[in-house]
Each structure stands twice: as structure tokens, then as C-alpha cells.
Amino acid sequence: MKQFFYLSLIVFGMNSCQDDPSGNPPDDSLPLGDPVETLPANTDYQPAFPGQTRVGSVKTLTEFKTEEIAVNIGRPWAITKMPNGNLLVTDKSGFMQVFSETGAFLSIIEGFPSVDDSGQGGLLDVELDPDFENNRMIYWTFSESFGSGTLTSVAKARLSLDEKSIENPTVIYRATPSYNGNYHYGSRLVFDANGHLFVSTGERSDMGIRSQAQLVDSGLGKIFRIDKTGQAVADNPFISTQGALPEIYSYGHRNPQGLAIHPETKHLWQTEFGPRGGDELNLIQAGKNYGWPIISYGLEYNGQKVGEGLTQKEGMEQPTYYWDPSVSPSGMDFYSGNALPEWQNNLFIGCLSGQHIVRLVLKNNRVVGEERLLSDKMERFRDVLAQHPNQSIYTVTDSGKIYRISKK
């Protein structure tokens, strides 16, 4: 609770992040309760501005129901919707499955390139081509054995009409260098309104390699923006920087497993894991440095400070929001339906160690309220789909379940 009480004492503006000029504290018009986090923080670090952590809680007033619609489906990592409402789910072991919106198993999709599914690797995220109804192309990320180690790769293929196989799988991008480890692949995908593909990559975790998150000639700890062939988009921020990878959109990331585009503002939002504390929600801007491993609101797993113990540094972006202790934020999505109007444009984040789904209310690019959902399920929530045509929210868990959340 210490950090929460510090908020009224902090002068806003030190190394302020994002494009929001208001600097507004949490929204007084919302009925806010005590922060949802009641455990002590790992550190005495003070937030950089009001509402950056442990904001007041909100509670959903509309009645909703939670249904366990599929169990024992394997090792799911990502879930997305298909044009007919069916659910496409990836499995770390190297295949995908199709389920109906009520959870009925429909088919297994095979034929994918080999994956290294040790540790945090495997067949990870999936996105449908914006023109899928005409070209049936899908894109996915996976941990690929390459050179002397593994790396995060992006591939595409055409999904067969019977949805049991893929045709002509092609790797379109590899986030080099490869590394002999099996952690922090990042791997989330999202298409923007122009048909460009954002890709997140992790910095591979280990002390000797993670500093490459700060290097623009390395593919580790980055968010890329590429076209459908894997080439850099022409107006990327480092397109003309000598020695830099032209695909880079932002850098200084640890292990970003959440990407989502706001349905109205079209801003790109991202979550990434901190170490012990310091999990982050970031508003991603072109060319910006998000600080890892130079600044962090967390500690090393052994309890020591990260680097010099800095939380702010000139030229490095502050997270819009952070969690300490960790909740391990993974896949996320914005709710765009109107079945539950109070959820409209709210951000829903699946949490692993936190074993709940975070609901964040945003205003002027700030977090103004937080709620924890499904904490009674005691599940590690891996990914969230919140823009389904039937206005339900779907989530997959590490235990191999699909849950559906909908209005009663």
C-alpha cells in the first residue's frame, strides 16, 4: 500500500510518457474503491505520476456469466476469431485447433514448420490476414531452431478450405540473432488498419544477452512493423538509420506478450513482463525506447536491483501503468461490444502468475480504474479475445481450457 499513499506527494512530469498532454490523475467521476492489489510491493520505488500503479478499483455492475466451454484442449497459447465466429486456437506443441463459439471441437490444423516447444517456446500467436475471407492467409509466430540456438520467427500460409491443413507455409521474418535459450520469445501479433503487422519479440532473458534490447541492430526486445512479406514499412522510424534494423518500431522491451490496438484511437498498446514486479502497460510510439534493462520498477529474481536501480532516465519512456508484485500480463484485447456498455473500450489482460483477468478503464491514455475478473478460477490466463461478433469475451488457460464471459 505504500506506493498508493505516495501518489499525492509526487510531482507529475518527471520524464513523462506518451502523448497525453493532460497529466490527469484518476477520474473522479468513477466510483473507485481501494486498489485491487493488497500485497506489499517488492520495492520502495515511487511512481512517476499519479495513477501509474495501484489505481482505485472499479466493479462491473452489469450481471455477466462465465462458462467453461472446453477443457483438456492441450497447451493453448493464443485465441482469435474467424469470420464465421469460430475460434482459432494455437497449441505450443505445433498445431492449431478450430472450435465453435460454444466450445465444440471442429478440427485440428496440421502441417506447420517444426517448433522448439521447450521452455516458453512453441507455436505461439496467430492472426488472420485482414483480407482472410478472400485469401485465407494466416500469420503466426513460433520459436524456431536456427543457427546455434532458437529465435522468434513469423510465418504465413493459406488455410485449407476444410481447415485441417495449411498450404505453402513460408517464414517471412526472423528476429536475429538466434540464442541458445528457451525463454522470452515475446511473439504477439496484431495487424493495424493499414494492413501492417506489428510483432513483439523478447530479449531472451539471460543477463548476457538481454542488454541487446537497447541495440537497434538486434532483433531482441523489440516491436517490429512489417508488411505481409516481412519487409520493413517505408515510414518506420529507423528506416534511414545506419546499421539499424529497418523493421524496428520501438525498443527497450523485456518480454512483451500482449499487443492490442484501441478500437477508437487506433493507438498500439502493449504489456510486458517485469522480473520481480515492474510488469508494464505501455502506449507504444514509433522510435521510442522503453528502457529495459536500464530502468525498471521491479527487482531481479534474486532480490537485487536491476542495473543501477533506476526507474526513470531521460530519453526513456515511462510505462502508462505498472504492477508490483507481478501479475504476469500475457495476451490482451479491447472490448468493443455494447452488450456490457460499461466495458466498452476497456482493456482486458490475461494474467499468468496473477491468475485472473485484469480489466482496465482508460481515459486520455491513462488508467483510471482496475478490476480483477475470474480470480476464483485459479487459472493462468494466457490470452484474451474481446472483440467477438457475439460480444462475448473468450480466454484460454495454460491448463487447457476455454472460458466464455458474456452478459447474463
Residue 275 CA from chain centroid, whole number = 16
Q: Which cell numbers hold the place of 153?
A: 520467427
Q: Select from 179, 177, 138, 167 the least CA-distant residue to 155.
A: 138
**Residues 393, 404 contacting (CB under 8 angstroms):** yes
**Residues 259, 222 contacting (CB under 8 angstroms):** no
Q: Which of 184, 196, 253, 356 is an active site residue?
A: 184
Residue type, 29: S
Q: Select from 34, 43, 24, 80 the least CA-distant residue to 310.
A: 43
DSSP letter assigned to residue 288: -
Give catalytic status of residue 184 as yes or no. Answer: yes
Pairing of strands 64-70, 402-407: antiparallel
**Residues 117, 94 contacting (CB under 8 angstroms):** yes
Using CB atoms within 10 A of its CB, is residue 136 exposed (0-12), middle (13-18) or buried (19+)?
Answer: middle
User: Residues 14, 277, 354, 199: is their CA dihedral positive or negative?
Assistant: positive
Instruction: Give the residue numbers annotated as catalytic, written as ranges.
Output: 184
